[in-house]
Amino acid sequence: MGTRNPVTWLGSPKFPDAARTALANTQLRSNLRKATGTIRGRRAAAVDEMPDWEDLRLAGEALKDEVLANLDVYLERLEKSVTERGGVVHWARDAAEANEIVLRLVRETGSDEVVKVKSMATAEIGLNEALEAGGVTAIETDLAELIVQLGNDRPSHILVPAIHRNRSEIREIFRREMPDVPEGLTDEPRDLAEAARAHLRRKFLSAKVAVSGANFAVADTGSIVVLESEGNGRMCLTLPETLITVMGIEKLVPTWSDLEVFLQLLPRSSTAERMNPYTSVWTGVTPGDGPQAFHLVLLDNGRTSTLADEVGRQALRCIRCSACLNVCPVYERTGGESYGSVYPGPIGAILTPQLVDDPHDKQAASLPFASSLCGACYEVCPVRINIPEVLTHLRARSVTARGRSPESIAMAAAAWVFSSPSRYERAQKLATFAKLISRNGRITRLPGPGAAWTSSRDAPVPAKQSFRAWWKENRG
Amino acid sequence: MQKVVEKSPKVALFATCLTDTLYPATARAVVTLLERLGCSVEFPLDQTCCGQMHFNTGYPDHARGLAGSYERTFAGYDAVIIPSGSCTGMVRDIHPQLGAEPAPTYELSEFLVDVLGVTDVGAYFPHRVTYHPTCHSLRMLGVGDKPLSLLRAVRGLDLVALPDAESCCGFGGTFALKNADTSTAMLSDKMRHVLDTGSEVLTAGDNSCLMHIGGGLSRLRTGVRPVHLAEILASTEEDPWAPATR
């Protein structure tokens, strides 16, 4: 492995430790409970009114699987069609290469400032930091991204990166950090949005270069699609002279008509909207209309190795809707920062460790264990990623990479006991001795790893007689 | 799945290692209930554990061995009944992935409603009860409202809906140990909802989830008692449910 993959944040603790800190933040808990609860309900209503939702999910899954199975073919087709329409295609193996390409392209324009459309791919590679190091200022224009950027904060949600902030916190960030903040700014959402609008409008009108991600790219036509809700994307994608799009190589759809499926699945799953508010599509360069230079950076950054894993590759179907975050009981309580990555929640728990692709990275290895396997994520996923299946698969990978440990010895011992009914029976008899540490029918303190259980729950007192012993005595 | 059509089906009970060892009253209740409904129940003594803990914690090789034992132990039975949604899910969904071909296996409420075709099992349980639908029974098996339809037919039972019922209690097997703080945060919300119902009894189809929520309810001295669905359904006026003596 060469340079560190910036998909995880340097110095992030392992999930259980990061979560412990987050759980103690009462403001965060309240903000998240309110936000995820609201969006969960709205999504359920938007999905329930679709009689063919399950068919759409199956279609989405099938299309993505078709693309992943023939990715080489579709990528070359995309390169050809983009090039034919006047765009320039660049290939980036990893984050460092992608950042280098973008920085070089910006420098070639002579500009030292770019406006940005909210993009997970550029967050994944740490583009803003790389541009800053190269003397280029990146300005986030999505409201939530702007809040995160001004607050010198980290994104905590794929769709709503400032979900961990409430409106009075946002007002404080604006008052502190926005250079042209209006006097007497209130915490009314309308006022906050107006302040951001005025601040951003000046940037839109002056910027020469925009950087975006892509929700979809049509291999046949070379068309790139961006979905957003605020109109900031439309400004960035049409006003500047140069447009640079960074896109993960899995974002393809074969043909134009395949978009029909995803333009139904994505808005209802993410923002609970029936139709997406601003859907921008462009194909190469159109003389006299919009950016006159278009660059497409195709990013691998761990995707090819993810694709090689038969179980894990389904994570590449993800269309970044966030539905799994909003229904996840773990995410709802710990928030996004605990995952130590731009991809939090259930999808992050399976995507991050695969993109990092380093079995000895303990932080990334802790992520697949950050789930009770309740399955709520799989139930809502618009492209039917079986997240619990990938979680247990990656857990096995972590266990193998870790080698011998107290846990692996205990698990082997348990399997040895369970593999013989007579050993199992003797172990059951031994377990009844746990009664000795009970008081008034309760066990309030267990030794060893059991202490984590009794930190908040009493442990059951084993019965005097197991069912097996009862059966032998009465029915055997 | 093949359905049992005989008048008096001969079925096997898989008690699960947890219920066998810690909650034998639940397994005895399953036997009482099924015999009352005309089944002849066997308990093959070769059974131990379905391997779920191993599989879910990242030890599929150990789980594979246990899936093989399960297949051999129950080979030839028309139906295996498990008083646990998550162990049933493990057998039905995961064992085939591990190369085993388990006998037709049903979670208790599925067997009662789908195979025996009963919802009124003649039970009597004069208590205020709330029901927690466990994640695996809900999402892996899709038991839907079968347990509720069984509870609604129990005489004397005052069933109160649990708010936010479908959210996980935070157990998740070794998750409760590895991520104890997060698990506890989930548990606290579940307990709050249980207490909001004013119920004396919390029921579910899984003793593992009941052990978790019940452990929290006991720690806080709430006075709410976890009771497995099978024990409620086995209770009658002639032989009413009584707390297990330990």
- Domains defined for chain A, CATH in brackets: 15-303 (3.40.50.10420), 421-474 (no CATH)
- Residue B216: list chain A partners with CB under 8 A: 456-458
Of A372, A373, A471, the CB nearest to B43: A471
Is the model's pLDDT at B18 over the cut of 90? yes
Element (H, E) at A423: helix A421-431
- Residue B173: list chain A partners with CB under 8 A: 373
Q: CB–CB of A207/A114 below 8 Å?
A: yes
Rounded CA-CA distance B180/B187 in Å is: 10
What confidence tier does B245 reach under pLDDT thresholds 50, 70, 90?
Answer: low
Q: Are residues B17 and A475, on separate chains, in Cβ contact within 8 Å?
A: no
Is the model's pLDDT at A464 over the cut of 60? yes
Instruction: Please tell me if residue A470 touches chain B, with a CB cutoff of 8 Å.
Output: yes
Pull the structure tokens for residue A55: 């068919």
pLDDT for residue B125: 98
pLDDT for residue B7: 59
pLDDT for residue B5: 46
Q: Is A436 exposed, middle or buried (0-12, 13-18, 19+ CB in 10 A)?
A: exposed
Q: What integer is the mean pLDDT of A342-355?
A: 97
Q: What integer is the mean pLDDT of B145-162?
A: 98
Rounded CA-CA distance B246/B235 in Å is: 19
Share the mean pLDDT of chain B. Answer: 95
- From residue B148, alpha-carbon distances to B84, B151, B200, B204, B229 in Å are 15, 5, 17, 10, 10
Closest by alpha carbon to A323, among A157, A476, A453? A157
Q: What is the torsion angle, in degrees rounded to the nearest 10, for the CA atoms of residue A102, residue A103, residue A107 and residue A108?
A: -30
pLDDT for residue A164: 92
Q: Are residues B215 and A463, on separate chains, in Cβ contact within 8 Å?
A: no
What is the b/e burial string over A84-107, where b = at least 16 CB atoms within 10 angstroms of the residue's CB? ebebbbbebebbbbbbebbbebbe
Residues 6+ apart with CB under 8 A from B72: B46
> Amino acid letter at A167?
R
Calculate the CA A428 to chain-centre distance.
Answer: 43
- Chain B residue closest to A331 (CA)? B182
Rounded CA-CA distance A252/A268 in Å is: 20
Q: Are residues B175 and A333, on separate chains, in Cβ contact within 8 Å?
A: no
Is the model's pLDDT at B69 over the cut of 60? yes
Q: Is A306 exposed, middle or buried (0-12, 13-18, 19+ CB in 10 A)?
A: buried
Q: CB–CB of A141/A232 below 8 Å?
A: yes
Q: What integer is the mean pLDDT of B33-40?
A: 95
- Chain B residue closest to A22 (CA)? B182
Is the model's pLDDT at B4 over the cut of 50? no
Q: Are residues B180 and A455, on separate chains, in Cβ contact within 8 Å?
A: yes
Q: What are phi and psi of A332, to 5 degrees?
A: -55, -30
Rounded CA-CA distance A44/A294 in Å is: 38
What confidence tier does A360 reach under pLDDT thresholds 50, 70, 90?
Answer: confident
Q: CB–CB of A116/A145 below 8 Å?
A: yes
Q: What integer is the mean pLDDT of A134-151?
A: 95
Pick among A40, A372, A380, A474 to test the B interface (most B CBs inside 10 A):
A372
Instruction: Please tell me if residue A364 touches chain B, with a CB cutoff of 8 Å.
Output: no
Q: What integer is the mean pLDDT of A179-208?
A: 93
Is the model's pLDDT at B6 over the cut of 60? no
Is the model's pLDDT at B66 over the cut of 60? yes
Residue with tokens 């393809």: A252
Q: What integer is the mean pLDDT of A145-160?
A: 94
> Amino acid letter at A371?
S
pTM attached to this predicted model: 0.96
User: A276: distance to nearest CA of chain B, Å?
Assistant: 29
- Residue B187: list chain A partners with CB under 8 A: 456-457
The full set of domains in chain B, from first to last, is 10-115 (3.40.50), 128-234 (3.40.50)
pLDDT for residue A341: 96
Q: What integer is the mean pLDDT of A326-337?
A: 97
Q: Are residues B59 and A428, on separate chains, in Cβ contact within 8 Å?
A: no
Write the DSSP string, A124-169.
HTTHHHHHHHTT-EEEE-SHHHHHHHHTT----SSS-TTTT--HHH
Q: Look at residue A181 and give its three-state secondary structure.
A: coil
pLDDT for residue B238: 96
Q: What integer is the mean pLDDT of A256-264?
A: 98
End-to-end CA distance of chain B: 39
Write the DSSP string, B148-212.
HHHHHTSBT-EEEPPTTTTS--S-TTTHHHHTHHHHHHHHHHHHHHHHHTT-SEEEES-HHHHHH
Instruction: Please tell me if residue A330 touches chain B, with a CB cutoff of 8 Å.
Output: yes
Q: What integer is the mean pLDDT of B30-52?
A: 97
Q: CB–CB of A65/A205 below 8 Å?
A: no
pLDDT for residue A100: 98
pLDDT for residue A69: 98
Rounded CA-CA distance A5/A357 in Å is: 9
User: B179: distance to nearest CA of chain A, Å?
Assistant: 5
What confidence tier does A1 reach under pLDDT thresholds 50, 70, 90?
Answer: very low
Pull the structure tokens for residue B112: 């009662």
State the sign of the Cα–Cα–Cα–Cα dihedral A286, A289, A292, A298: negative
Q: Are residues A463 and B22, on separate chains, in Cβ contact within 8 Å?
A: yes
pLDDT for residue A435: 82
Residues 6+ apart with CB under 8 A from B35: B41
Rounded CA-CA distance B123/A108 in Å is: 80
Q: Please report, rounded to a whole number, the percentage of residues in chain A having pLDDT higher than 90.
A: 93
Q: What DSSP designation does B121 have? A: -
Pick among B22, B70, B245 to test the A interface (most A CBs inside 10 A):
B22
Q: CB–CB of A461/A435 below 8 Å?
A: yes
Instruction: Please tell me if residue A188 touches chain B, with a CB cutoff of 8 Å.
Output: no
Residues 6+ apart with CB under 8 A from A70: none
Q: CB–CB of A348/A367 below 8 Å?
A: yes
Bridge partners of residue A252, in order along the sequence: A217
pLDDT digits (tens, 9 = 90+) for A279-314: 999 999 999 999 999 999 999 999 999 999 999 999
Q: CB–CB of B33/B121 below 8 Å?
A: yes
What confidence tier does B2 reach under pLDDT thresholds 50, 70, 90?
Answer: very low
Strand runs (DSSP E) across A274-335, as ranges?
Answer: 278-283, 293-299
> Amino acid letter at A162?
A
pLDDT for residue A245: 98
Residues 6+ apart with CB under 8 A from A449: B177
Calculate the CA A147 to chain-centre distance.
Answer: 19
User: A406: distance to nearest CA of chain B, Å?
Assistant: 13
Closest by alpha carbon to B209, among B23, B71, B70, B35? B23
What is the b/e burial string over B88-112, where b = at least 16 CB atoms within 10 angstroms of the residue's CB? bbbbbebbeebebebbbbbbbbbbb
Q: Which residues numbered 25-64 in A keep a CB inside 8 Å of some CB on B?
A: 29
pLDDT digits (tens, 9 = 90+) for A73-119: 999 999 999 999 999 999 999 999 999 999 999 999 999 999 999 99
- Residue B45: list chain A partners with CB under 8 A: 421, 468, 471-472, 476
Closest by alpha carbon to B108, among B166, B29, B173? B29
Q: What integer is the mean pLDDT of A22-49?
A: 96
Share the mean pLDDT of chain A. Answer: 95
Of B21, B178, B185, the CB nearest to A23: B185
Of A415, A457, A460, the CB nearest to B54: A415
What is the b/e burial string over A228-249, where b = at least 16 CB atoms within 10 angstroms of the residue's CB? bbbebbbbbbebbebbbbbbbb
Q: What integer is the mean pLDDT of B160-171?
A: 98
User: A458: distance to nearest CA of chain B, Å?
Assistant: 4
Neighbours of B237 (CB within 10 A): 12
Q: Are residues A456 and B219, on separate chains, in Cβ contact within 8 Å?
A: yes
Q: Pairing state of beta strands B158-160 and B128-131?
A: parallel
- Chain A residue closest to B190 (CA)? A329
Rounded CA-CA distance B26/B15 in Å is: 9
Of A19, A419, A476, the CB nearest to B69: A419
Q: What are phi and psi of A148, to 5 degrees?
A: -65, -45
Give the count of alpha carbons within 13 A of B129, CB side only: 27
Q: Please report, rounded to a whole number, the percentage of residues in chain B having pLDDT higher than 90.
A: 94
- Residue B202: list chain A partners with CB under 8 A: none
